[in-house]
A and B are shown apart, each in its own frame.
Chain A
């Protein structure tokens, strides 16, 4: 990888940057330029950039790929590839790799953690105690039990399956909707997101973001989930019609929500801040030290394999 010129689109996990430098890569940092200057920056370095390392904040879109004729490979520090223009990459013969599997457990852990946090009102209790209110007011409004609730999973891929396995340990009956039925007799299949939402208490979004799944959680689905239902989103913000979600929560038409992703991160609709039946985390699905290192190692291994002419470990294109 000696002297491989790599474009970094967004500040990286420090270990990843260190490892790239240690291996002799020459790093160009797109984020050191203001957004309006990005295209100029790319063009100025067009002849040397052979690799792009990107993430969920700033990906590799068509404009970027077109501006980099020497580009050979895009490695995203994520499992989701919705921020990479795969069609353009295919067209240009640019390889694409992601970081599947190493983050599956973390995202599934967070999904269950969010479910309990919402249903049992855990952050609300923590706020209540820290404010001193628990000393005076006595009991805070009741939460509701998580164990035994019907869990519906939208997208039974790696992450969805890991969530299902955990939910089973809480005696939660598991159902799902996927593009196709999976060989899991324990889990009940529904042929549409609407049917799934009508038949579960906790709906988890864990599919990839594509043109088909954009706004898959719309008003109809939210209403079907209902005033006792809880939506958990550990997928992508654009999976959900966010303004419909907010009004359903404010109106009480939806029972609660646990959200790790939002339509326009890091901006979040402020109405949500008033609600105790909502738990929000700043896109931390795979943000643990252990997993960040494993993801970094995978990015490096893919780039190294490419530089050495060996098969890529986790290619998408």
Chain B
């Protein structure tokens, strides 16, 4: 179907461009974005989406996609938006967007670029130190009043010098690597291809080999068809009984029921998890374990990151509406 040229002759120059939302924005984004754009909010209408869009959003050129649990953007939705030219995701993960369908329809997709990377990397390191040095566990122990009763007894494992294997040496992964290098941790990684920019990090062509040579696996890759369940039982056995998994990517990178089993059976030593397959659901058994640290998908939720991604989103949208190059396009 040919893209119709948007008829803008009736619009005043100062009219704000229309931008479609699929779910409510967080309070950190809404005020500024509603000043700049005319935000269409289909959930405020009694009409179902597939009736609302042809009637009220036929000229819409832009979508803002925000999370943390983003609604999927698939072909069926794109069909209803013939003038769509850009999807601006406020997330770095875009596994909820059918990139192939967007490419076919000439819809550009932008994401958070590297604005989230320092926070995500900090969180991954924080989870690792927490798991190995039992920080949350110690805090729990102290708050229950157990220190005078049980005395000492928490003995952790050293962080410095642990062999760290990074799954996905992208922006977040390389920020993690830089931080853990300062802890004296030798860095290895698995990525789709070796990264010539990082000659001091050892490349492994598959995750199983990486796991064999690592004490810690840190997951910071995108979720795709290839990476779904990339952490399976074989990988966890290879990582070993003292091995730690840190996940700040997507829950579905790990075979979650198998992870729970491996933790219970002592196949691996512990885990720090910010993401889960079916958020906000968290496997209940994990909540009883002492050798895990759990968080609710907050690796990048800081005011600093929000400010950064907001500025980037606006820059991308402004560029789009004025026909200039986008700042953080995702290649499909």
Contact call B158/A105, Cβ cutoff below 8 A? yes
Interface string of A138-163 (1 = CB under 8 A from B): 01101111111000000000000000
* B window 149-163: CB within 8 A of A: 151-152, 154-161
Contact call A169/B135, Cβ cutoff below 8 A? no
Contact call A123/B136, Cβ cutoff below 8 A? yes
A106 proximal to B (CB < 8 A): yes
Partner of B130 from the list A122, A168, A292 (CB cut-off 8 Å) is A122
B151 to A: closest C-beta gap in Å: 7
B59 proximal to A (CB < 8 A): no
B293 proximal to A (CB < 8 A): yes
B198 proximal to A (CB < 8 A): no
Contact call A109/B119, Cβ cutoff below 8 A? no
Contact call A129/B296, Cβ cutoff below 8 A? yes
Stretch touching chain A among B5-13, B100-108, B174-182: B174-182
> Which residues on A sit within 8 Å (CB–CB) of B154?
282, 284, 287
* A window 271-306: CB within 8 A of B: 273, 279-284, 287-292
Interface string of A257-268 (1 = CB under 8 A from B): 000000001111
Please tell me the size bucket of the interface on B. Answer: 35 or more
With contacts A145-B122, A281-B139, A282-B147 taken as known, whether A106 is within 8 angstroms of B158 at the C-beta atoms is yes
Stretch touching chain B among A64-72, A111-119, A217-225: A111-119
B287 proximal to A (CB < 8 A): yes
A41 proximal to B (CB < 8 A): no
Tell me the complex Cα distance, A130–B288, Å: 8
> Which residues on B sit within 8 Å (CB–CB) of A135?
280-282
Q: Which residue of B lies closest to A131 (CB)?
A: B287
B195 proximal to A (CB < 8 A): no
Partner of A129 from the list B132, B148, B295, B305 (CB cut-off 8 Å) is B295
B324 to A: closest C-beta gap in Å: 29
A166 proximal to B (CB < 8 A): yes
Q: How many A-B residue pairs have CB under 8 A?
A: 181
Contact call B183/A117, Cβ cutoff below 8 A? no
Query: Of residues B135, B140, B280, which shows the largest number of chain A Cβ atoms within 10 Å of its Cβ?
Result: B135
Q: Which residue of A lies closest to B68 (CB)?
A: A139
B142 proximal to A (CB < 8 A): yes
Q: 28 A-B contacts, Cβ less than 8 Å apart?
A: A105-B183, A105-B184, A106-B159, A109-B133, A112-B183, A113-B129, A113-B135, A116-B129, A120-B126, A125-B295, A125-B298, A126-B140, A134-B282, A135-B280, A135-B282, A142-B301, A143-B302, A144-B304, A145-B305, A147-B122, A148-B118, A165-B182, A169-B179, A280-B143, A281-B142, A282-B154, A284-B134, A290-B157
Given A279-B135, A281-B135, A284-B138, 16 more A-B residue pairs with CB atoms under 8 Å apart are A106-B160, A109-B159, A113-B135, A117-B129, A117-B136, A123-B130, A123-B139, A126-B293, A134-B280, A140-B296, A144-B303, A280-B139, A281-B133, A282-B138, A288-B132, A289-B158
Residues of B within 8 A of A (CB): 26, 118-119, 121-123, 125-127, 129-130, 132-136, 138-143, 147-148, 151-152, 154-161, 178-179, 181-184, 280-282, 287, 293-296, 298, 301-305
